[in-house]
């Protein structure tokens, strides 16, 4: 059974870079055919797609975040990561990592991690 | 404002059937059979209920079904139960520029 776990700072200063890592267990991140995604949920609000990286290395980012987002994979650690630069209070949210067999179909999710942007 | 439009809330009595709509455009729902539906209980991660418009993952009750007509997708829950009370989100592929979009979510209340 594949499991995903987010990790990273729970508090980030405004204008700094938010960095989160998703550790994958129960399966290799380098095995083919999967989309590795980041999704966030502002407090009390709906889900927002941040972006994904395909096993081939190709990426696709939410246009509204594209200039600030980078998603990368570390196959040696069986992890993938999210970096979101120049954060503001509007980036405060629960961040989820997820894996899907097709695009727009994440079926394995991490438990989510709350990141607060505040000084 | 979400890219896909869902009703904010729906309700039903136990045993009734309910349908949640998800309205998109020809750039997303209307162009791809890559619509999925998620159930989210408070404080929990979303759970995939339907993928590729109408397919059910293993372990999901057959009371859940999905369909699509034109630019609108729908999730139907037959014989709604108390445990189905949750938020439901639709999701669609939207092409190589926009990638993926979610609906704003629908809160299902079981009366």
- Chain B residues in contact with A60 by the CB 8 A cut-off are 96, 99-100
Whether B93 sits inside 8 A of A103 (CB atoms) is yes
Judged against a pLDDT cut of 80, whether residue A108 lies above it is answered with yes
| Residue B103 and residue A46 in contact, taking contact as beta carbons nearer than 8 Å | yes
Q: If DSSP codes are grouped into helix, strand and coil, which group holds residue A65?
A: coil
First to last CA, chain A: 39
Please state the φ and ψ torsions of residue B83, each to the nearest 5 degrees.
-70, -10
Please, what is the Cα angle at A41 between B7 and B37, to 5 degrees?
50
- What is the rounded average pLDDT for all residues in chain B? 96
Judged against a pLDDT cut of 70, whether residue A3 lies above it is answered with yes
From A90, A107, A89, select the one nearest A98 (Cα to Cα).
Answer: A107
Please report, to the nearest 10 degrees, the dihedral formed by the alpha carbons of residues A75, A28, A4, A74 taken in order.
0
From A45, A27, A18, select the one nearest A107 (Cα to Cα).
Answer: A27
DSSP state at residue A89: G
pLDDT bin (cut points 50, 70, 90) of residue B3 is confident
Whether A111 sits inside 8 A of B99 (CB atoms) is no
- Residue pLDDT, tens place only, A67-103: 999 999 999 999 999 999 999 999 999 999 999 988 8
- Residue pLDDT, tens place only, B67-101: 999 999 999 999 999 999 999 999 999 998 889 99
Whether B101 sits inside 8 A of A103 (CB atoms) is no
**Contact status of B90 with chain A (Cβ, < 8 Å):** no
A113: closest chain B residue by CA: B45
- What is the rounded average pLDDT for all residues in chain A? 94
CA distance B111 to B109: 6
B45: closest chain A residue by CA: A111
**Contact status of A106 with chain B (Cβ, < 8 Å):** yes
């Amino acid at each position: 059974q594949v499991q995903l776990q987010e990790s990273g700072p729970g508090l980030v200063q405004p204008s700094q870079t938010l960095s989160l890592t998703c550790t994958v267990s129960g399966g290799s991140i380098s095995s083919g055919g999967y989309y590795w995604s980041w999704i966030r949920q502002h407090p009390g609000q709906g889900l927002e797609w941040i972006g994904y990286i395909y096993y081939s290395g190709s990426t696709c980012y939410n246009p509204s975040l594209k200039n600030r987002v980078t998603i990368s994979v570390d196959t040696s650690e069986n992890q993938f990561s999210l970096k979101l630069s120049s954060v503001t209070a509007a980036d405060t949210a629960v961040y989820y990592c997820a894996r899907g067999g097709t695009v727009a179909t994440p079926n394995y999710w991490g438990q989510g991690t709350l990141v607060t942007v505040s000084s | 404002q979400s890219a896909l439009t869902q009703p904010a809330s729906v309700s039903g009595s136990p045993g009734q059937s309910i349908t949640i709509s998800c309205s998109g455009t020809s750039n997303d729902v209307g162009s791809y059979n890559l619509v999925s539906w998620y159930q989210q209980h408070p404080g929990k991660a979303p759970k995939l209920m339907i993928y590729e418009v109408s397919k059910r993952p293993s372990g999901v009750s057959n009371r859940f079904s999905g369909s699509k007509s034109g630019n609108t997708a729908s999730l139907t829950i037959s014989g709604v139960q108390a445990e189905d009370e949750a938020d439901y989100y639709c999701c669609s592929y939207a092409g190589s520029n926009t990638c993926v979009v979610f609906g704003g979510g629908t809160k299902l209340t079981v009366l």
